[in-house]
Amino acid sequence: MEKLKFGVINLGCDKNRIDAEIIISSLKSRYEAVTDERQADILLVNTCGFIETSKQESIDTILEMAKYKKDKCKVLIATGCLTQRYGSELLELMPELDIILGVNDYDKLHECIEKSMKTGEKSCITTYSDTNINIGKRQVTTGGSTAYIRISEGCNNICAYCAIPKIRGRYRSRDMEDILKEAKELALNGYKELIIVAQDTTNYGVDIYGEKTLHILLRELGKIKSIKWIRLLYCYAEELTDEVINEIAINDKVCKYIDIPIQHISDDVLKAMRRKGRKKIITENIKKLRDAVPNITIRTTLIVGFPGETEENFLELLNFVKETKFDKLGVFTYSQEEGTLAAEMEGQIEENIKEERLHSIMMAQQTISTEINKNKIGRTYDVLIESKEKGTYCGRSYEMAPEIDGEVYVKSNKLSIGDFVKVKIKDALEYDLIGEILK
């Protein structure tokens, strides 16, 4: 009997990607994977529900996949943050769905599929958990060189704009031995870059070891011989310890790169956001990073248009961006999310003002990025080659995280995907670099 076929569409963040990889591996144990949705008997959309635009993208994708139920698709499934947040409501609004599972319920996937196939009965299971961490065999979807590795789940930072703690639960670290075991398996399978992710990587270990132990984890990961790069994302600037900064400085395998989403710099706005950090400690820790690691690349993320953000608050943020000159920067407009403290706050800001503020920040960053990139002309970098198009190879240096930070382009006839090559930078664009292979 021919195996049923399945397809998975993943949306959202890197943590969601890891969940999708676990789901794909589980489904492959019984069904055949396909990349063409038209061929799938079972279609699964792993949704994002963080902000309004991501919720809309998730809903649009589910409706797009629902079209295939007229032909081959027998079971349409939605999982992820949107379903965790709106489970039964989604089932009512979208009768095309057969199965809805929350972020802690992927172990129930097979029984729900079997029930749907045999009886047509729908399932909606969205179990909230402060203890569960999705682990298990993964089908890595990031190519043959780079893999994300989750070190914790959930979040204890009750930021006023964010629904993640209500979706993912309270902060819980993975056992270090478990993380190292997974990292070694990834290395054995040829992965050369590990990207450390969590809702908050800087607090790793506090709950199970009684203290922050991210620096120890980085040190142990650095002992894995075939791993070349270890990249740190989602670090809270105010939670950075001297030990972590020192480990970045001295550990050759830890990329001189850090992602610290500060969200804002005005103390008034940070207080309203219920962020722990304030301008003084954020500024001090950025200086510490740059003093200890002169070649470090710092990425941040900002929110503009938070309720009550005055023109003065915004100009303080804009001036800070211009003065600090972050290497990489992303900006979101504030999204009024139901169930969060900020959604009920007075002083909600009109969308056109939010967009104007976002545009101002991004125009300033574009100038900064162009200037920073031009200063790289003549420098030599190790570049990880990831793709090829018409004789031009695309790769990344240590300064670039996948999909968000630009690429390095080189022409060659003899490279292989997954190679690390020496590249001398010959030209610079706003976000990308152009180089030549050194013989």
Task: Please list, in sequence order, all residues whose beta carbon lies within 8 angstroms of the beta carbon of residue 223, skipping any fewer than 6 positions away.
Answer: none
* Predicted pLDDT of residue 439: 72
Q: Which run of H or of E encompasses 105? A: none
- Residue 255 assigned ligand-binding role: no
Q: Give the pLDDT confidence score for residue 332 in this predicted structure.
A: 94
Level-2 CATH architecture, domain 146-374: Alpha-Beta Horseshoe (3.80)
- In angstroms, the CA 409 to CA 434 distance is 5
pLDDT attached to residue 390: 80
Between CA 145 and CA 160 the distance in angstroms is 37
Residue 124 marked in a binding site: no
Q: Which fold has domain 5-125?
A: Rossmann fold (3.40.50)
Residue-level pLDDT at 232: 96
Dig out the tokens for 287 from the structure.
């200086």
Q: Is 98 helix (H, G, I), strand (E, B) or coil?
A: coil
What's the burial of 253, exposed, middle or buried (CB within 10 Å: 0-12/13-18/19+)? middle
Residue type at 193? E
Give all strands (DSSP E) within 238-366, no chain letters.
254-259, 297-304, 328-333
CA–CA distances in Å: residue 350 to residues 221, 265, 301, 335, 347: 46, 21, 21, 11, 9
Known binder of ligand: residue 112?
no
CATH 2.40.50.140 fits 380-437, yes or no: yes
| pLDDT for res 339 | 85
Report the pLDDT value the prediction gives residue 160, as an integer from 0 to 100: 93
User: Is 81 annotated as ligand-binding?
Assistant: yes
Residue 81 and residue 103: Cα distance in Å, rounded?
6
Fold: same for 5-125 and 380-437: no
- At a CB cut-off of 8 Å and minimum separation 6, what does 326 contact? 298, 299, 300, 365, 368
Furthest-apart CA pair in the chain: how many Å? 68
Structural domain boundaries of the chain?
A: 5-125, 146-374, 380-437
Q: Which of 395, 380, 381, 393 is nearest to 145 (CA)?
A: 395
Q: Kindly list the distances between the CA atom of residue 393 and the CA atoms of 2, 24, 38, 147, 409, in Å, as whole numbers in the listed order.
A: 39, 29, 31, 20, 6
The predicted structure's pLDDT at residue 400: 94
Residue 394, annotated ligand binder? no
Sign of the C-alpha dihedral computed for residues 313, 307, 361 and 203 taken in this order: positive
- pLDDT tens-place values along the chain, 439 residues long: 678 999 999 998 899 999 999 999 999 999 999 999 999 999 999 999 877 888 899 999 999 999 998 889 999 999 999 999 998 888 888 999 999 999 999 999 999 999 999 998 999 999 999 998 988 899 999 888 999 999 999 999 889 999 888 899 999 999 999 999 999 999 999 999 999 999 999 999 999 999 999 999 999 999 999 999 999 999 999 999 999 999 999 999 999 999 999 999 999 999 999 999 899 999 999 999 999 999 999 999 999 999 999 999 999 999 999 999 999 999 999 999 888 999 999 999 999 999 999 999 999 999 999 999 999 999 999 999 998 888 899 999 999 999 899 899 998 878 888 889 999 999 999 899 999 998 7
Q: Do residues 332 and 301 make contact, with C-beta atoms less than 8 angstroms apart?
A: yes
Q: Can you give the pLDDT at residue 61? A: 93
13 appears as a binding residue in the annotation: yes
